[in-house]
Chain A
Amino acid sequence: MTSFKKITAVALLGLAFSASAFAQKQLLNVSYDPTRELYQDIGAAFAAAWKAKTGEAVSTKTSHGGSGSQARAVIDGLQADVVSLALAYDIDAIAERGIIARDWQSRLPNNSTPFTSTMVFLVRKGNPKKIKDWNDLVRPGISVIMPNPKTSGGARWNYLAAWGYALKQNGNDENKAKDFVRALYKNVPVLDSGARGSTTTFVQRGIGDVLIGWENEAFLAVNELGKDKFDIVVPSISILAEPPVAVVDKVAGRHGTAAVAKAYLEFLYTEQGQEIGAKRFYRPRLKSIADKYAAQFPQIKLFTVNEVFGGWQNAQKKHFSDGGMFDQIYQPGS
């Protein structure tokens, strides 16, 4: 090789390295509906932490919608580097297509759920309809707002929370639980496609007496949309919601973002990430942060999907698949 060729080769290599060194990595986090504020804060904090640690600039974009719809979008080709969905079943659906490794849930602590939450009631200020527990929601004349379980992960948590309550009230009598949930949906005048849409219906459009929704979404409505307008009602029992996260292996591999995507999700488990979550009213997993913010989360008796429904696969098949229990209970326009 001549000197000229050597110099040219070294220059080209140097150029290539410089280009890659200065290239900014970008992550797309495809998430469920009410996490906009959380992942906006997480993205900014992670970018700073990653820059400090590696010197590499990274930015995150987020996409939000009903959890089931978001999973479908990723399956159909939406180029998500990570997903943070409302429930494990939706990530399983992506994993079944080979886009995410099937062992995704074991790759991060707590079954890849960095935060938990639960479902509570948001009522008009002063609770004029005197709603205290699930059984109040089926009273004639009560208007209940919640999204459609066919498209919304939060709505599936709502549904299962109500079903679990009814089972416990009626000695695990499935028929009575079914009647209870049917009566509940009879009081639902509008089914939005996602949790944020239901919040809009209840808060901004002024429809309904009570909104069943994510605890964090209820706090958001009270604290940011009007403390003088709404109250949070904590039912006697509810469900432990565990929204999971995962790296979308195929996309991140193709984008060359696998390492930064993994670090982004691991950041959620750090003290900083957990505190950001707690400030946005997601219940932290980390004990130190959970203790610090214990006062802001009401004590509530919680049951899990595994305990009452035998896991998400069973719950999905029995209740939310086509022709399942929800389809039997709820007829559009009825």
Chain B
Amino acid sequence: MNYGKRNRIVFGLVLGLFAFSGQGLAQVSQEQFQTLIQKLDALEKRMERIEQEEAEAKRTTEYSSTAPIEDVAAQIESLDQAIRISDRKRELDQEGLTARTAAAPLTTAGTAGFSLQSANSDYRLNFGLVAQADGRFTVDKPNPIINTFTLRKIRPTFTGRVGRYFDYKVMPDFGGGTTIIQDAYFDLRFSPKFRIRMGKDKTPIGYELLIGDTFLLFPERSLASSLMPNRDIGVQAQGDLFANKLFYAGGVFNGIPDGTSLSSEVDTNDSKDLAGRLVLQPFRSAKNPSRRLNGLGFQIGGSSGRQSGTLPTFKTSVGQTFFSYTAGSIAGGDRRRVSPALFYYYKAFGAFAEYMRSTQSVSRPGIATDVRNQGWDISGSFLLTGEAAGERGVQPRFNFDPAAGRWGALQLVGRYTVLNVDRDVFSLGLASTTASRLTKSFTVGANWYPNSFIKIYGTYERTLFESQTSRPSENVILVRSQLAF
């Protein structure tokens, strides 16, 4: 309420009193007078309250209108700066976090396996495992083998890199009731075109033998691969040339008998084997991998050296020995191996064929001759579920998920393989009495890949022997469950 309004109220009261007095005080009763006094008191209190409210409103108005604008602006500026500083600190923290994250070691666990890796990739440790549980059953009577389940391979695998240019692999094997070091080597990488590998690894000769153990079409390799050396210790150079169209590997090794791996970790003689292979894939194209001839390749491998001492024995897939030299026979002199191969992979189809020949000087008291053993095999596969075939296994299009009606990949496989021992071995009495001169094996089967880590093999294998003792054929069923990552 303003002053004008209040004055009007007071003026009205005064006029009212005068009018009241004009009517005659004598006519006013005591009761009426008291009522008027009360009304005046009420009006007075009301005016006081109104005046207080007006004074309060005035103080507020005066404060609002006279507060320094500079102070308010400074407060706003201060608040704005505080917000900006907070935002910038958060921005810098984020930058720092990004930088720290980029520099932090990486730990991965997933479809690519398990690994630890420095931020710059110069240091890595990948952990892998190969576990194979087999079932071997004969359908022959009487049983030539004991039907059994067995742990074929238990191989924890450690691969990685140290110091940017050095790769390594260490792979022990606890399968078959023994513990041995299968692979133990490191690579010095100069470039993809040239690296030096030192240590224990597969000898670079045979095509099938150099396919990774977990990627094989069959639980065991062919008879012909018995003529190739397996793992040996040495130094080799490797590289990929011409846009990966040509791979080469070659080096010097201790030298081991056919079909064996070095188990003693030291050589038994001073002679060394030279071994190497060339793999040519002339139509290989990273840009257009689906071309019809992309997966066509040729390889030639071989070795040469002088070896003495132990001679090999040859066994079937279930470990039955079908050839051995007579007691007292030893290797003594030159040993040469050669193995050409042809392979082809296109869409779901894959096949390879290879020939192997191993020539070794063999002697026993009074007899010495060069023994030339030969073998070959042809293998084929077809993925019924349409995945791409290859040397590096199968990646199912759909992983096993029965609830979703998905079953993984299914592959049919077949193989025919022959191992032909030199006739002179028999004519000169260098073979044991139960030895087979010509051994042929036919294998068919199916492989199921529930996902890229699990593989179930199921095969039937029939092996025929030509021996002096009319050895009966061997008919076996091999089942393998394999975990590999």
Residues of A within 8 A of B (CB): 143, 189-190, 192-193, 197, 201, 205-208
Give min CB distance, A195 to chain B, whole Å: 14
A-B contact sample (7 more), CB < 8 A, given A192-B92, A205-B88: A189-B81, A189-B85, A190-B88, A205-B84, A205-B87, A207-B85, A208-B81
Complex Cα gap A190–B81 (Å) = 11
Complex Cα gap A96–B89 (Å) = 35
Cross-chain contact A206 with B92 (CB below 8 angstroms): no
Cross-chain contact B92 with A190 (CB below 8 angstroms): yes
Complex Cα gap A208–B81 (Å) = 7
Contacts of B89 in A (CB 8 A): 190
Cross-chain contact A207 with B92 (CB below 8 angstroms): no
Complex Cα gap A235–B405 (Å) = 79
Interface majority SS on B: helix, strand, loop or mixed?
helix
Contacts of B88 in A (CB 8 A): 190, 201, 205, 207
Complex Cα gap A205–B89 (Å) = 11
Contacts of A207 in B (CB 8 A): 81, 84-85, 88
Give min CB distance, B245 to chain A, whole Å: 22
Contacts of A192 in B (CB 8 A): 92
Interface flags, B154-192, vs A, CB<8A=1, else 0: 000000000000000000000000000000000000000
Complex Cα gap A174–B85 (Å) = 32
Complex Cα gap A189–B81 (Å) = 10
Contacts of A201 in B (CB 8 A): 88
Give min CB distance, A207 to chain B, whole Å: 5
Within 8 A of A (CB), among B121-158: none
Contacts of B87 in A (CB 8 A): 205
Contacts of A193 in B (CB 8 A): 92
For the complex of A and B, 3 pairs with smallest distance between CB atoms: A189-B85, A207-B84, A205-B88
Complex Cα gap A89–B88 (Å) = 30
Give min CB distance, A215 to chain B, whole Å: 24
Complex Cα gap A207–B84 (Å) = 6
Contact of A143 among B81, B91, B92 (CB under 8 A): B81
Q: Which chain B residue lies CB-closest to A206?
A: B84
Complex Cα gap A128–B91 (Å) = 27
Complex Cα gap A201–B89 (Å) = 10
Complex Cα gap A197–B95 (Å) = 11
Give min CB distance, B326 to chain A, whole Å: 53
Give min CB distance, A55 to chain B, whole Å: 30
Contacts of B91 in A (CB 8 A): 205
Complex Cα gap A193–B81 (Å) = 20
Q: Which chain A residue lies CB-closest to B84?
A: A207
Contacts of B81 in A (CB 8 A): 143, 189, 207-208
Q: Which chain A residue lies CB-closest to B74?
A: A141
Contacts of A190 in B (CB 8 A): 85, 88-89, 92
Q: Which chain A residue lies CB-closest to B78?
A: A141
Complex Cα gap A189–B85 (Å) = 7
Complex Cα gap A217–B81 (Å) = 23
Complex Cα gap A201–B81 (Å) = 11
Contacts of B85 in A (CB 8 A): 189-190, 207
Interface flags, B56-100, vs A, CB<8A=1, else 0: 000000000000000000000000010011011101100000000
Contacts of A189 in B (CB 8 A): 81, 85
Complex Cα gap A208–B89 (Å) = 13
Give min CB distance, B16 to chain A, whole Å: 64
Q: Which chain B residue lies CB-closest to A197?
A: B92
Complex Cα gap A207–B81 (Å) = 6
Give min CB distance, B104 to chain A, whole Å: 16
6 contacts between A and B (CB under 8 A): A190-B85, A190-B88, A205-B84, A205-B87, A207-B84, A207-B88
Give min CB distance, B190 to chain A, whole Å: 14
Complex Cα gap A208–B77 (Å) = 11
Give min CB distance, B247 to chain A, whole Å: 25
Give min CB distance, A167 to chain B, whole Å: 30
Give min CB distance, A155 to chain B, whole Å: 14
Complex Cα gap A283–B89 (Å) = 33
Q: Which chain B residue lies CB-closest to A192?
A: B92
Q: Which chain A residue lies CB-closest to B80?
A: A206
Give min CB distance, A140 to chain B, whole Å: 13
